[in-house]
Each structure stands twice: as C-alpha cells, then as structure tokens.
Chains A and B, each alone.
Chain A
Amino acid sequence: MRPLQIIVLMKPVPDMEKVKFDTEKGTIIRESSELQINPFDLHAIELAVQIKEKVGGQVTVMSMAPLHAQEALRDAIARGCDGAILLSDKRFAGADTLATAYALASGIKKLGKFDLIIAGEKSVDGDTAQVPAEVAEFLNIPHASYVSKLIDVGDDAVRVVTEQESPYEVELKLPALLQVTKEVAKPRVPLLKDKLRARKASIEIWTAESLSDVADVKQFGFSGSPTWVAKIIVPKPKTRNKQVLKPEEGIQKIIEILKKEGLL
C-alpha cells in the first residue's frame, strides 16, 4: 500500500445551539462569533485520519472562512490532521455554493498532488449538501455521495458504500472525492497532548490573489455567485391546539384517532 495525500474539506460554522433567530426583526442573533468544526465534518476528519493511520500519508484540512476560523482548523489538527489551509479574503465573501466550490477547487489545484478528498454530508448552517459534488466536478474527478462505509482503500482505487435508493457498493478510481455520512466513522476525542501540538501548529492563510495562477479571481465570492437571496420570509409558526389530556383521556383519544385512520 502506498501513502495517500488526503484533503478534508471542513466548514467552520457557528454553534447552532447559540445562534437564535429574531423572528420580529428577521435577523440572526449570534451570541458569539466563535466558529467551530461543522459537526458533520468531524466524521470526514475521522475517516481521513483512520485511512492515514492505516496506509500512511498526510491529511490536510482546508476551509474557506473568515480569519477568526483558525481555531476550528486548529481543532482539526488536534483531531489528527497534519496541516491546515484557510482560504480567507474579503473577495471570497458572499459566495453561494458554486463560488465556494470554485474557491475550494482552486485551493486544491494550488496545493497540487492529492489522492483523496473527503467532505461531510452537509453543513448545519447552510444545509445544501452541494459543495462536495461541485468541487469534484470542478476537478473533474469521480465522487461518491452519502458514503456510509469505507470498505477498502488501495493504491489506485477506493471501495465504499453509497446510500442511494438502495445502498450500492462502488469502486472509484483515485483521485476521488467522498462525501460521507455520520455513520462512516465515530469521531475521536482529542487528547491534551494533541491539543498542545495543535496550539503550536501553523495555519497557512491563502488570499484570493494567491490563487490567481490557478483561478479566475472574478469567479470568487459574490461576483461569482449565480444565485442570490431576493427575500427572507419569517413564517408564522404553524400553531397546534395543544389540547392537554390526562392519561386515561389520552389513551381514548389515541384509539379514536387510530380507528379514524383505519389502523384498528
């Protein structure tokens, strides 16, 4: 088996438990601007590190985010990544999924050699699940989506289970991209020594200009985004009756409803 160069695409996101939405004003209330690893991406990092531990090689984590996302990248290093690259520039701002994928794909091209790219299923804040496949297309490499299991990784190919209408075992030629679900690997908890190592690690910051030899910088950020938000609507919450019942009444009510639906 040969060592593999693995890239993990990670999105630094706000803590969704702390982010509240002001339904009156229609704005987001952020109690802190701290960014953390998108929970879905923890599983991508874990899979990458497990593969590295098996076959050798290197895991590089890459994000596109504001500068204060560095702590999230440091956390990725504590979890076993060897290096971190942060694409950060105001010219990346306002990007939709296409412009985000274009920037990440450009970063990967600049990085050069890679065998495997691993990304999480979706982000907790954007919830589109589109960026991984878009990156794969920009790089013109095969990708498998909703990967629930890694079966085998070899010198030239990777075998995984992709969850479609049925699960399928598929083989992808390397280089390839895997978009993985939470089932693929259980994230480890970083040890103190790993956290200390991560604190000293350096994070490379790449600007839009630094990608100009591999990309058209006009395609980054807002100017490269074909979709835009025309309006935000705050819906009235669907109200329900909340008829409070005692256990005996409740049991009768459930039976009545089940009978009405022909289930009893």
Chain B
Amino acid sequence: MVGIMSQEYSGIMIYAEVHDGVIHPVTFELLGKARELAEKKGTKVLASIAGYKVKELAQELILRGADIVYLVDDERLKSLDVMAHRDAVLKIIQKAMPEAVLFGATNTGRTLAPRISSYLRTGLTADCTDLFIDEKGNLVQVRPAFSGNIFAHIVTKTRPVMSTVRYRTFKPAERDPGRKGEVIELELGNLGETGYRVLRKMEREKVNISEAEVIVAVGRGLKKKEDLQIVKELASLIGATIGASRPLVDDDWISRDHQVGFSGNIVKPKIYIALGISGSPQHVVGMKDSGTVISINIDQNAPIGEYSDYLIVGDLYEVIPKLIEQIKKIKEGNSPS
C-alpha cells in the first residue's frame, strides 16, 4: 500500500479549521504558505471545509487565496465528532486528489490528521515550522527535533504528503476582496454509528498562553506559593499572561495551562519577562522565539541569560515591588484626574 507515486495527484490543499462558525486563524497562515508552494509548483491552492452552515465561509477562503474550495455542509458535522469529520475530509481528499494536505498543528488538527493519514496509508509529518519545494520538486517538511537543537528535513514518498504546521509560524494570507474561485460541494453520505458523541461544550477556565502578546513567567526563584500574588499584580498592571516553569506546575502552585516549555506550551509573545527562571533546556524550547526577552535573576551566569536581550541581576523580591511602584506612578500620571 505504501509507495504510491502518481501524477494524478495535484494541488496543495489546506484544511480549514472551523469552531462555532469561525475560521481558526491558523487556516489563513496555511493559505499563505500553500499559495507560495503552489506558485512554485505551478499548481492550484485547494481548501477543504467541513461543518454545518459553513457555506458562506467558503468565499472567505477564496478571498484569502484558495482557487477551489471543497465543501461538505451537513448537520451531522455541527459538533466536532472526530469520526464524522474524518469521513468528511476523506471524502474531499478522495475527490480532489491533492498532492499535499496541510493542517494546523492545533489540538484539532493533530487529532484529525493522523486518523486521515492512517486511513490513506500515507505519511504525516508533525508540527512543521517550514515547508519548501526542493530542486527535484519534492515538498520538504522541516520540523524541530531534540528540543529544537536540530531541524529534520522530511520527505514523504506517498501521496498525498500530509503535514501539521505550527500555529503562528507563517504570515497569514492577505485578503483580496476581488479574488475569484470555485466552490465544489460534496455530500457526506451514509455515516452510520460513529461511536463518538459530543455531549456538551464546556467553559474554558484555562488561559491560552500560546496566544499571549506579553508574558510574565516565574520559576524556582519564587520561594512560596503565596508570593505568586506579586507576580499576578505585575501581570495585571501591564495586561500580561502569567507563565511558569515546570517545577511550579509539578508542585501544584499553578495549573499546567500556564506552563511554558516542552511539556507545557510553546509561546511566542512580543515581550517575555522571566522572573527567577534559571533556563533549563526544557523551558527554553518553549520561549526562545519570543520577541524581546527580559530576565530577572540573582545569578548573572544563569543559562536564561543566553536567551535574554536584557538580564537584570538582582533579587526578584526587591526588583518586582519597585517595578510595580514605578508602573503605578506612571499610570496615575496618565490618568486625567
């Protein structure tokens, strides 16, 4: 089964991720990359969209760079029934025969893509940070390995080539209000019992740290759980999300959704302020691509320094209260009273 190589496959397809009628922004990043790859190969950009009442979203995919949108609109796709959505995307792939299919490496993308690739007995590469066409015309998938110490270039010998692509890595495709494209609608057909039933959507109590623009992260430099209060105060003053290194999470000082690092979250904020974080490899892999990195550490030789634009050498218990005080003063000065 493995080893299918055929000229019948053409076009770069993206999977449009939709939640509650809204297109997930990773979709536009995939469209941007797909346009670039398709132009290099002289082929079309295809989009796959499956859901309920998603017809009007197809047009948006065209304005963002899709040439043909394959659509399955069915009430049975209203909730995220993994088995039903798998069937819908399989229908689309089997009809469109794309040479590549790109998914966002979001939880949903990483849930559906391996089921589909496994069904098709084709290769799937996880969490790519780059994709390009080499001189032989192969689609090369680049993914970090060994905590980002190396990058593996992966080639797939079966078709379609399938990848999940890391969110917030590529620039989103620009919207061209005059763009034209084609929409092809497919039927979901007979589904049967999927064995998967969505009972209810729950409220997210967690923070979505991977989308934060400013992060104030704290590590072992904090002596006790109660002291998180000063970190919270600083974060709320500047509209930052609180991050934490693994030991604090393992000790239940703060929930895992705040964790930055390999076993937590990969973050890419504009500003990353690291308080009392030494900078273990497992932490650094989660934050090294941030914009400006400022660290406050008592040890001038802490490894975090190598990943920092500014290293403030001092005790966080002295620096933070002073910083808070100054920020408050500035804020009072700004207010019209």
Binding site for B on A (CB under 8 A): 16, 19, 21, 23, 26, 28, 39-40, 96-98, 101, 124-125, 127-134, 136-138, 141-146, 159, 161-173, 176, 181-183, 219, 223-235, 237-247, 249-251, 253-255, 257-258, 261, 263-264
Pick the contact of B293: A172, A231, A240, A250 (CB < 8 A): A240
**Residues 74-96 of chain B: 1 if any A CB is under 8 Å from the residue's CB, otherwise 0?**
00000110110010000000000
Asked, given contacts A124-B262, A172-B195, A219-B1, whether A242 binds B306 with beta carbons under 8 Å apart, the answer is: yes
Q: Is the CB of B118 within 8 A of A98?
A: yes
A226, closest chain B residue (CB): B123
**Bound: A16/B307 CA distance, A:** 21
Chain A residues with CB under 8 Å of B201's CB are 166-168
What's the least CB distance linking B324 to chain A, in Å?
10
Q: Is the CB of A142 within 8 A of B195?
A: yes
What's the least CB distance linking A4 to chain B, in Å?
16
Q: Is the CB of B111 within 8 A of A226?
A: no
Interface residues of B in 136-181 (CB under 8 A from A): 138, 140, 142, 145-147, 149-158
Chain B residues with CB under 8 Å of A19's CB are 146
Q: Is the CB of A258 within 8 A of B238?
A: yes
Asked, given contacts A164-B107, A250-B296, whether A241 binds B309 with beta carbons under 8 Å apart, the answer is: yes
Pick the contact of A145: B110, B116, B158, B262 (CB < 8 A): B110
Q: Is the CB of B311 within 8 A of A137?
A: no
Q: Is the CB of B256 within 8 A of A183?
A: yes
**Bound: A231/B153 CA distance, A:** 5
Pick the contact of A130: B119, B126, B200 (CB < 8 A): B126
Q: Is the CB of A133 within 8 A of B118?
A: yes
Q: Is the CB of A250 within 8 A of B319?
A: yes
Chain A residues with CB under 8 Å of B239's CB are 263
Asked, given contacts A142-B83, A182-B263, A263-B238, whether A133 binds B200 with beta carbons under 8 Å apart, the answer is: no
Pick the contact of A251: B122, B195, B214, B322 (CB < 8 A): B322
13 new A-B contacts, CB < 8 A, other than A172-B196, A223-B2, A254-B310, are: A101-B114, A133-B115, A134-B114, A137-B118, A138-B118, A144-B196, A170-B196, A172-B197, A183-B256, A244-B305, A255-B326, A258-B238, A258-B271
